[in-house]
A = this chain, B = another copy of it.
């Protein structure tokens, strides 16, 4: 770890005041390791500013002194983007946790970067509105991280990614200047839409300090079902039919595999497979009913029709909020069940909707050819073409982990062949910033690097993340 100049350290501490920093290893430790334990960071100083102007002064000092700095929200990222692996100063936004305003009439909410997603959801709910971003880590991930990773989750099908939910941003640039783009305007064609630069940029082009978020009418209720599908290749057709039948009210369409559900019921308490006799693929389907229109009957009818035509083998509807929670618990605990059952190599890919089945067949075959004991488990937001694709080798963890690089390469190659993405929603961070260079054109990589040089000429903002090494 590079030692921090004591004079600079003191100036940084002065900016944030006594509550705003720590050098205590015990305070710092939880910020240095991420969920899966793949990267371990180190830092000479943890800064916890409480206001945008403090972030501005910190960056101005860091930029002047060429001091690298890593921003961190809820530390729930899965690709290492938030970990100071090179001994950088660590900037936690956790104290910037105010909801600055809620405006139900205009369907807008302004949250600081450190607001936990669940709290933003609750603030919307309190005024009878929905903030639709929803994902496994919502109890600890933060709005700043959601913006910086362009978070996805289970409602993308209907409401889009975080990019689609951000109407304005406040960003501190590398040199400490504050870019105030918190305009509450749905339409504004006055030049380049600068906020787009910072969404999904993983803190490499600026530090997001606040976001103006779009709110939606709160659904009046939900219709939730688990359906057994005859074959993964019918999933897209089924989704199109259900969208047609329900007036595009389907908000979630999540693929699950029998083998994964078995791991859930084995490892997670209070779980039950509602289709215990079905050996094949299932989808968790949810329709959000607007106040004006209950699509439950339409969903039931469309599923019955799909059953008659052989697309769906069986379906179970949630009869209560408790059933609904139980169905969702299966989906939400699935990654944890995989982890609890031994080593997992997780992949987060997307392919064009119509090629999902093709991907699964080709990737599975290639993986087994490379490591005969390996098994793949696909699950996730299939309505968006996004698969979480986990590789395991039951009873053979050491071999699996030894083959990590080869297996990840196989998944990446199969994805690229079908014009897919090797990171549908998790980002690049440290996990995929090298491999991405294989799949992007020289023009694209050059332009990415040029943007980085333009916005962060001294390379102080989350250096070494997202961009491939030169």
- A residues with a Cβ closer than 8 A to B are 103, 105-106, 149-150, 152, 156, 161, 163-164, 173, 177-181, 183-194, 196-197, 199-201, 205, 216-217, 236-237, 240, 243-249, 290-293, 295, 298, 350-354, 381, 384-386, 419-428, 432, 436, 439-441, 443-444, 447-448, 450-451, 453-455, 466-467
Contacts and interface: CB of A to CB of B under 8 A. Distances in A.
A81 to B, nearest CB: 11
5 interchain residue pairs of minimum CB distance: A247-B290, A196-B196, A188-B421, A247-B292, A187-B424
Contact of A421 (B190, B244, B352, B448): B190
A181 B177 CA distance: 31
Given A295-B293, A450-B454, A443 B179 contact: yes
A293 to B, nearest CB: 4
Given A105-B236, A186-B386, A451-B454, 11 more contacts: A183-B419, A187-B425, A188-B423, A189-B427, A190-B428, A191-B428, A191-B444, A191-B448, A192-B451, A249-B292, A450-B454
Nearest to A152: B187
A187 B201 contact: no
Given A105-B236, A190-B436, A185 B427 contact: no
A436 B454 CA distance: 22
13 contacts: A103-B354, A150-B189, A185-B420, A186-B384, A188-B423, A189-B428, A190-B421, A192-B447, A193-B200, A194-B447, A217-B244, A244-B290, A451-B454
A439 to B, nearest CB: 8
